[in-house]
A = this chain, B = another copy of it.
Amino acid sequence: MTTAPQTLDQLPTPCLVVERSLFDANVAAMSAAWPGLSLRPHVKAFKSTAIARILADAGHGGFCAATVREMEGLAAAGLGSDLLLANEVLDASRLGRLVEAGHRVTVAVDSDATIAAAAAGGVTEALIDVNVGLMRCGCDPADAGRLADTARSAGLEVRGVMGYEGHLMMASAASKPARVQASMEVLTAAHAEVGGDVVSGGGTGTYAVNRWVTELQAGSYCLLDTDYARLESPFEIAVSVLATVVSVSPRGWAVADAGLKAFGMDHGPPSWPGGGLEFVSDEHTTLLDPEGLLRVGDRVRLLPGHLDPTVARHERFWVVDGDDVIDCWPVDLRHW
């Protein structure tokens, strides 16, 4: 119906925009720290097989997912050589079908019920998910060995352990190393009881200090967000939501056409490098413009506070090199 956009000003708004050079620099910085399969990219952050393929081409061909849908999408894209569902499921039948189709599927288990579900669904490999301090999933560390025995009795190959120190991603730089160490010592002790080759954990916020995992589960570093940008790291914000100013008030504000349905808001509103925001509503963000610099039709870039739930609201990334649109990456791993 219309030709593909060639330049930034031709993009329909609101939309996600990725600055390719910044994305590439982020990918390279993480690859230098965690080369090859020592990095297990977590696709929940970007939900795109196009990005996953770039990471696989950079040597990181084993992936981590948070949903069955992400697992299915990676497999369908030919990226199913080693997929980890780093999450518990009670119905593993869709995962079992991936195994049947020849993909390598490992699932996290942290209870008798999730072990039984994995076995019943036709999954053959598991990690024992160990709670290392985050108030979320993972078994009591003292129960890890028993669960591994149970899993093996149920016919599962137990590849090792997983433990996510998510509560420490934003810990202060001063306290983080010691706190991560304490958390990972819990995981290491559980690993001694469980056996297997894999100790999986970590994330963008602990990539520089976690020395205990055999594979790092990180995804946010590729694109980042304003929350992670508060940490000292080589990663830069490579993504924004492009919006058009659709209304300007003589009383000192302007309204851009990106709102609650274009952002994850759990870390607060997006940031506008040009100034402050008044509020965000369903399809609008009211920008404070006391000097009246903005005009109807102007484009603004808004930086997400939290990457993962922002990306999950969009159908695609437009990839740019300055003002040139050079690619389009579908956000094709959404939903469940």
B interface footprint on A209-249 (CB within 8 Å = 1, 0 otherwise)? 00000000000000000000000000000000000101111
A249-286 interface with B by 8 A CB criterion: 249-250, 253, 255, 257, 260-261, 264-266, 278-284, 286
- Map CB proximity to B onto A60-104 as digits: 1 under 8 Å, 0 otherwise: 000000110000000000000000000111110000000000000
Chain B minimum-CB-distance residue to A264: B260
A137 interface neighbour in B67, B278, B284, B313, Cβ under 8 Å: B284
Interface size class of A (residues with CB under 8 A): 35 or more
Most buried by B among A67, A136, A137, A265: A136
Measured in the bound complex, the distance between the Cα atoms of B32 and A47 in whole Å is 45
Interface presence of A205 (CB below 8 A): no
Residue in B closest to A12 when the chains form the complex, CB atoms:
B336
A282 and B309 in contact (CB under 8 A), knowing A140-B250, A247-B111, A297-B113? Answer: yes
Which residues of chain B come closer than 8 Å to A136, judged between CB atoms? Answer: 247, 255, 281, 284, 286
The reply on A208 being an interface residue by CB < 8 A is no
- Contact between chains at A246 and B87 (CB < 8 Å): yes
A160 at the interface (CB under 8 A from B): no
How far is A279 from B137 in the complex, measured between Cα atoms in Å?
Answer: 13
The answer to whether A137 and B246 have CB atoms under 8 Å apart is yes
In the complex, chain B residues whose CB is within 8 Å of the CB of A19 = none
Q: Do the beta carbons of A44 and B246 come within 8 Å of each other?
A: no
Chain B residue at minimal CB-CB distance from A315: B335
Give the complex CA separation of A13 and B87 in angstroms: 14
Which residues in B have their C-beta under 8 angstroms from that of A12? Answer: 91, 336
Q: 1/0 per position for A104-142, CB-CB distance to B under 8 A? A: 000000110110000000000000000100011110100
Does A306 belong to the interface (CB within 8 Å)?
Answer: yes
A residues bordering B, Cβ < 8 Å? 12-15, 44, 66-67, 87-91, 110-111, 113-114, 131, 135-138, 140, 166, 244, 246-250, 253, 255, 257, 260-261, 264-266, 278-284, 286, 296-297, 306, 308-309, 312-315, 334-336
